[in-house]
Structure 1
């Protein structure tokens, strides 16, 4: 029996009607920005059924059960919790004392991070900045080899190349020596790695776990595909921490065959701020590994406050389990403090409206705003996504620099006093979808060091002009216009 046009008409009507139901379900369920909802509505309208499947895997938020489980696993030491309470009381009475004199005149960011993010302000910290992977991995290897009690390591990407094998060699050695070694890596960030390379660490006595693993052992089959642990944290003996933009892989040493030179920023921390990173790692670890750590077990991870320097630090974390985009809000607050200049670096610049509005307000207040983006891309869609926003930045009056290579640094410095370095890109994905962590620094010497790094990178960059931007061809312009439309879900 052949299908008549009447049969096909019914099938088409059923598909369209069910797709309308899917769209209504999405609109009812969606709790993010209107732009995000509108973009998914467009996708589902032009791709019936397929669009809804894409939304389920890429757009749907974390379920209430997952949010509750993540919240239950969060760890804050007694010292940290008591410290936050005492600082809030001191804030209300005006008795917080600062090592950085300028904070007595402008401490709004400290207040915001303390009250909104419950981020403890500590000022006994030492910070070392790395701008090349070779230096970072040399220092990391020295500290790993010197570990006596615990090594906690989390990376978004952990390659099975020469760099990754070297780190694994050290972890196995320390595990055999009796050091407690825990390694956590993101399932999607490492979808193509051979999992068996970690078996030798397990055999040596170390512990390994995946964050948000895929279902049924398939690489990308998970309803949490978009929600990744993008943090890079290494805490050694509870006293030294490494964090920033670099994962574990040869490319971070500038050895990528196509994407080079590779410029990144990573930091080594000592002082009380390390305790916050330890708590963040252990919270993620307990959720991902299902290992329940007793109060007695936790004690060894928090050896007590140590004094390593005089730099003021607040550590802010965020993720899709939070009601607000805490790191983004802290960055917006940071931009609002600027009186003279703002220098930003990010490999990806696909921000939401609140961040763009903060940049525009700074420009409108006479602030010199400069942003540095990669001139060489690692992902074509990300590069053209960046360039789609360059048009808006140029109209605002922002000075945009394209680095002669791939810049993976994630940093902001304001007025030679405030700065932030961490794992967060200036895009919607990092702001709302990924688990991220950033340190906010209150120290004029460290800020000036960040400015020196930016100025040095400017020597290896090209200032984007309106003439150059407009003469890149109609196809490029059309492609970027389409990407701009879909930027809320890129």
Structure 2
């Protein structure tokens, strides 16, 4: 074995030591009580702009009346209003999509319906059969006169052949490669560790689909069909969740897409009706929340922390990658201490060994506090979602880990109301059926090898 020189060894040690110091860096401390104002008036937006105080109050009163006994509408809404710049928007229709086949069907149907423009943002876009199917649909629309604008992450598409994107570009589709791995091609500064983890499709400024599903063949099989398998029988099926949204909140998601396009210095967007007049489509009250490492703190993280502190009866969270920071850990344990039913759904297997074991390093602490832990075993869990008190729900691209809160650009929506909350609770309980609950007694009997893996994973948690 060749040993490095003393100078090289010193540099390696310095780099390792610096990494360990950075790994101790904390997320910004979000204290909801500091921004809460008991007299704050929460105002909603509608299809034609801000609603009157009386109309806003009537909608919020209806939501409160339909929910569980909770102060989440008295406390949480005022906190979130202060933390997040985007408005609560009434009059939306929200459909829950579970797994790749259902999400892809909704996406391709929306693309087919496009008459003006298509804006698409994704982390992974593979050149496999699924990727080619989307490419054909997008190219066909571009050739029909619909302008297609696509943002894809450079790291997430490392394995995609350049010819795949060259074909899209040749058809007239406008492309932005987010934070290119090659610094020579970076237009907005080189930030290799900052990634665009959003999955967002907006059609004609009227339909939005977002969540955790990437464009990849691993999603070809659904996780609920008996015997379903990904990649022609190899491995486990992937379990994920997305939302299809129509209504006024789509304009806020459109703003997030265009903001990213501008910050990455994409070419000037072709003139289209990106912000058409939006009509009321349903009864859901929704807030769109985007986060970026360029901001002082993750607005999605701040919203989640405030919701956890406001919870009165239930916190049910699902996360594909779970590596909690100290504040998130404290919020979960504090909720249990005040009598809240806290349940956490995590993967039983994963595509990221380090993240998997970094998260498992916290199981003992959570179980000792009274958090109920489930590992889904019959599918590869990729969901990022939560439901609190049966009335506050969130779905998006954000995992409960350091990378999502510090290094990634993410997008989530918060949906308020008991009707949608019931659908989220049903989805969570469906995942429980395919899961194994981890008990403290069983966890304390885990192997030495498992404990060592947790230690290794935890060292790198900041960067994962």
Instruction: Identify the TM-score tier after normalising by the shorter chain.
Output: 0.7 to 0.9
Counterpart-to-counterpart distance in 2, 1:422 and 1:446: 15
Superposed, which structure 2 residues align to 1:55-454 within 5 Å?
A: 90=53, 96-98=57-59, 101-103=62-64, 106-216=73-183, 224-254=191-221, 255-256=230-231, 258-293=234-269, 297=271, 300-404=273-377, 405-454=379-428
Uncovered stretches (5+) of structure 2, i.e. residues with no partner: 26-43, 66-70, 222-229
Q: Does 1:47 align with 2:23?
A: no
Counterpart-to-counterpart distance in 1, 2:139 and 2:23: 36
1:158 is displaced (CA, Å) by 0.5
Name 1:484's counterpart in structure 2. Answer: 458
1:399-457 residue CA offsets vs partner (Å, 9 max, x unmatched): 10010121111111011111111110000110111011110111111000000011111
Counterpart-to-counterpart distance in 2, 1:112 and 1:383: 32
Contact 1:58/1:224 (CA < 8 Å) preserved in 2? no
Contact 2:364/2:444 (CA < 8 Å) preserved in 1? no
Name 1:75's counterpart in structure 2. Answer: none
> Compared with structure 1, are the counterparts of its residues 303 and 212 closer, same or farther at alpha carbon in structure 2 (3 Å cutoff)?
same
Contact 2:22/2:462 (CA < 8 Å) preserved in 1? no
TM-score (norm 1): 0.80
Contact 1:229/1:434 (CA < 8 Å) preserved in 2? yes
Larger Rg: 1
1:95 is displaced (CA, Å) by 5.9
Counterpart-to-counterpart distance in 1, 2:126 and 2:245: 24
> Compared with structure 1, are the counterparts of its residues 399 and 163 closer, same or farther at alpha carbon in structure 2 (3 Å cutoff)?
same
Two-structure CA RMSD over aligned residues (Å): 3.1
Counterpart-to-counterpart distance in 2, 1:180 and 1:361: 50
Counterpart-to-counterpart distance in 1, 2:47 and 2:111: 31
Counterpart-to-counterpart distance in 2, 1:188 and 1:325: 21
Contact 2:391/2:417 (CA < 8 Å) preserved in 1? yes
> Compared with structure 1, are the counterparts of its residues 387 and 450 closer, same or farther at alpha carbon in structure 2 (3 Å cutoff)?
same
> Compared with structure 1, are the counterparts of its residues 59 and 137 closer, same or farther at alpha carbon in structure 2 (3 Å cutoff)?
farther
1:309 is displaced (CA, Å) by 0.2
Contact 2:46/2:248 (CA < 8 Å) preserved in 1? no
> Compared with structure 1, are the counterparts of its residues 57 and 369 closer, same or farther at alpha carbon in structure 2 (3 Å cutoff)?
closer
Partner-residue secondary structure (3-state), 1:487: coil
Quick check: which one's helix share is greater?
1
1:396 is displaced (CA, Å) by 1.1
> Compared with structure 1, are the counterparts of its residues 109 and 382 closer, same or farther at alpha carbon in structure 2 (3 Å cutoff)?
same
> Compared with structure 1, are the counterparts of its residues 95 and 450 closer, same or farther at alpha carbon in structure 2 (3 Å cutoff)?
closer
Partner-residue secondary structure (3-state), 2:151: strand
Counterpart-to-counterpart distance in 2, 1:80 and 1:288: 29
Counterpart-to-counterpart distance in 2, 1:380 and 1:232: 23
Counterpart-to-counterpart distance in 2, 1:318 and 1:172: 30
Q: Does 1:473 align with 2:447?
A: yes
> Compared with structure 1, are the counterparts of its residues 131 and 15 closer, same or farther at alpha carbon in structure 2 (3 Å cutoff)?
closer
1:49 is displaced (CA, Å) by 4.6
Partner-residue secondary structure (3-state), 1:468: helix
> Compared with structure 1, are the counterparts of its residues 15 and 383 closer, same or farther at alpha carbon in structure 2 (3 Å cutoff)?
closer
> Compared with structure 1, are the counterparts of its residues 225 and 57 closer, same or farther at alpha carbon in structure 2 (3 Å cutoff)?
farther
Counterpart-to-counterpart distance in 2, 1:213 and 1:81: 38
Larger relative contact order (C-alpha < 8 A, sep ≥ 6)? Answer: 2
1:487 is displaced (CA, Å) by 2.1
Contact 1:58/1:226 (CA < 8 Å) preserved in 2? no
Counterpart-to-counterpart distance in 2, 1:241 and 1:100: 27
1:199 is displaced (CA, Å) by 1.9
Counterpart-to-counterpart distance in 2, 1:238 and 1:185: 19
Partner-residue secondary structure (3-state), 1:462: strand
Counterpart-to-counterpart distance in 2, 1:81 and 1:47: 57
Contact 1:259/1:377 (CA < 8 Å) preserved in 2? no
Contact 1:58/1:225 (CA < 8 Å) preserved in 2? no
Uncovered stretches (5+) of structure 1, i.e. residues with no partner: 1-7, 20-45, 61-78
Contact 1:338/1:362 (CA < 8 Å) preserved in 2? yes
1:488 is displaced (CA, Å) by 2.6
> Compared with structure 1, are the counterparts of its residues 439 and 354 closer, same or farther at alpha carbon in structure 2 (3 Å cutoff)?
same
> Compared with structure 1, are the counterparts of its residues 47 and 223 closer, same or farther at alpha carbon in structure 2 (3 Å cutoff)?
farther
1:99 is displaced (CA, Å) by 5.6
> Compared with structure 1, are the counterparts of its residues 370 and 55 closer, same or farther at alpha carbon in structure 2 (3 Å cutoff)?
closer
Contact 2:118/2:147 (CA < 8 Å) preserved in 1? yes
Contact 2:47/2:280 (CA < 8 Å) preserved in 1? no
